[in-house]
Chain A
């Protein structure tokens, strides 16, 4: 490590990283646009100006992203000269910016807004006509480009080139006429396009599914883990007004996904936002199903399970380690074998992040002692048994609602599920929270323990699965004692 003096304090700096990384690592904010820790620094926005004094040379203002650290270097990120240079730089960046912040999806998390607030001057000195470029250039299924807002930092260009290995965006033309474009106007492809919207420091690249859907300051954000594959990327879940999940965004994790995530995971809010959520318990009546409270349903379930020896138990692949441990205890109590549903690998696997295995907690459940079963195998097991318990988020759908519908009516089926998919055979369904509503741990393919957390509350009346299972076990144990 190299020792430098940063704002009067001696700190250690990684000599393999540029000066700006040392500043950021030591809580000295340096405004920047083109620099991103996950991409090659190009030093083109010229925003990250700091004052540096080396040896006997007079202090000078340099771009921190392209300045190597050197032993004894004296760095001042707050010097008047550095601030002045940054203010000048911002004035140039804003010269052609359309200032359409009121209708910009990036507003509120825009680096141009934030640093202008920090550094900029209040008054604009330009009355020149601003650049007129494409305001909504369609770049495929995921991204819309606003060329007028673009400040040409080239992060998006470098992302495709360096991270996905396939250069899809370029800066075309020259000077003040420069624009970001795709080769020959082709749409963007691949499963990682969404990352460029996160990378974009301004509102030039926006996500089609998020366009005009929410003001970002109304989103409640909670650190969590993605459930779309066994990579378990660290993410934030962003919920609008305690209700609808609007975004999943990658969260830096050096051990798992660094700064990125795939589009499959990013846009996996179809399930959390479903309308057919099961709130409380649902009992199959003679004519139709009937809604009851979770507590009543648990009582009835305890009675029903007491009558059967070793029912088939199949857990959802979304079960957390904590829920799995609880279910394992129940299995022991019932004399059942612990199994979890293991959907077949999909074709989404790649060399970057997606593993192609849609079980977010395969490793966690396997380590607990759960045995994987595929959907067809699960249906065979169910068909051959007198009673069965399906447990966890989306389990009915993953086993297959059609297959469940075809099961013999002699089967006594009990389900803990997020969604109401009461199969003809199911006697009782009890609602559980989905992975945006509960706490727990998933173990990813490499053994990393990813925390999931509740970004919103579960529908009213829904109890956490662990608590439901504890109640159930206590009831069954009590009944055995009385008997």
Chain B
């Protein structure tokens, strides 16, 4: 079916793939059992992940093996150590981890067990987004099944290896997907991100060494262990190897989650997988990797989908969740929806983010309702520059500011036209709201 070789979703396509029986019959836990039998030096396992070049699939694209190697040496640091699996998939447009949690929970558990072996973990916490009811249940059932089969807990498979895996259900806050906010939330506190340093590897959950990894990153690990780093490097590009799960949504004929190699062009995903822009319309712009990555115009659709190429066009690969906007979509309206999201989700610690997200939302709301002024575009740009980069504890402020800067960079004329007409230019001049009560903002 797929024009490119796949491995991530092969098992997930089978009937009852979420059960231990089906999963095991189809290769799950084989890599882990081999490790338990061979008992390699845990550092070698980390080294394989490092060599594979696997980059984190949670958005930042940080090399997973390198992150693992930041965990302090167990011989010098006897504190308990933890891993938190970030399954708080809340980025607008991103829906890839849901598929893995729901359809192949044992694949993730195997990844956790291997990570546990490599880093000498005491416990793994899987933090699942609050709204993911079925994925949570599937994941919990998988843990129960695996525990009953002696795959989780003390003396796993009689090989003297211990690892606990716990589940935690979020309560619907986007900010808890930020790694330090996630740890605070796991500790039972409000999901307020912590300033770094100290970094999680030294001072994480309950002040203990912790690594936080995305679901898809961990899910890749058993395949790398089974087939080797060189095999993994056969997929994708040199700097971004492997396949990734692309969740494509928006104005496309067949939105969904597709497994594609990194480096494939955005056009191929759009046309070969997602059936092209819907209703035979033309593409206007697209978000490469979720709502926090800046929008790029349609003419950049031939850009390869990998971390460096997307960075090259001034955006970010993010979670690889493409959001497509067709020619009838209003960028002001889209920006307003996003600004409202970040306003709603800001935790409120940092001044720039707390006030800035609200301010951006208010301005976009005014423009959308025909009450914008010409000064607003520059104000949006200037405020966004005040919110980024790295001026706040976490990246939520940047996540709100970057798409704003991008939409101004690529669609300034449309925003100006919107303000000028006092309504959406795409709706034939009959805007959403009368401009009668528009107030002038002092320049």
Interface on A for B, CB 8 Å cutoff? 42-47, 49, 60-61, 63, 66, 68, 85, 88-89, 91-93, 95-96, 123-128, 151-152, 171, 173-178
Contact = CB atoms under 8 A, between A and B. Distances in A.
A176 B195 contact: no
B392 A91 contact: no
A92 B392 CA distance: 12
Contacts of A174: 173, 345-348
Contacts of B346: 174-176
Given A174-B347, A175-B345, A93 B391 contact: no
B197 A68 contact: yes
Given A89-B352, A176-B358, A127 B441 contact: yes
Contact of A125 (B173, B344, B347, B379): B379
B227 interface: no
Contacts of A176: 343, 346, 348, 354-355, 357-358
A91 B386 contact: yes
Interface residues of B, number: 32
B124 to A, nearest CB: 28
B94 to A, nearest CB: 21
A88 B348 contact: no
A314 to B, nearest CB: 57
B289 interface: no
Contacts of A91: 386
27 contacts: A42-B195, A44-B349, A46-B351, A49-B391, A61-B391, A88-B391, A89-B391, A91-B386, A92-B352, A92-B355, A92-B356, A92-B359, A93-B355, A123-B442, A125-B382, A125-B441, A126-B359, A127-B442, A128-B359, A128-B363, A173-B348, A174-B345, A174-B348, A175-B348, A175-B354, A175-B357, A176-B343
Contacts of A85: 386, 391
B156 interface: no
Contacts of B344: 175
Contacts, number: 92
B146 interface: no
Contacts of A89: 351-352, 386, 391
A49 B352 CA distance: 13
B359 A95 contact: yes
Interface string B371-389: 0000000010010011000
Given A66-B195, A125-B379, A175-B346, A92 B351 contact: yes
Contacts of B69: none
A47 B351 contact: yes
A175 B347 CA distance: 5
A175 B363 CA distance: 17
Contacts of A42: 195, 349
A44 to B, nearest CB: 4
A275 B351 CA distance: 48
B435 interface: no
B158 interface: no
B441 A178 contact: no
Contact of B393 (A43, A68, A92, A173): A43
A43 B351 CA distance: 10
B75 interface: no
B348 A127 contact: no
Contacts of B442: 123-125, 127
Contacts of B390: 60
Given A63-B195, A127-B441, A151 B351 contact: yes
A171 B352 contact: no
B357 A44 contact: no
Contacts of A152: 348-349, 354
Contacts of A68: 197
B386 A88 contact: yes
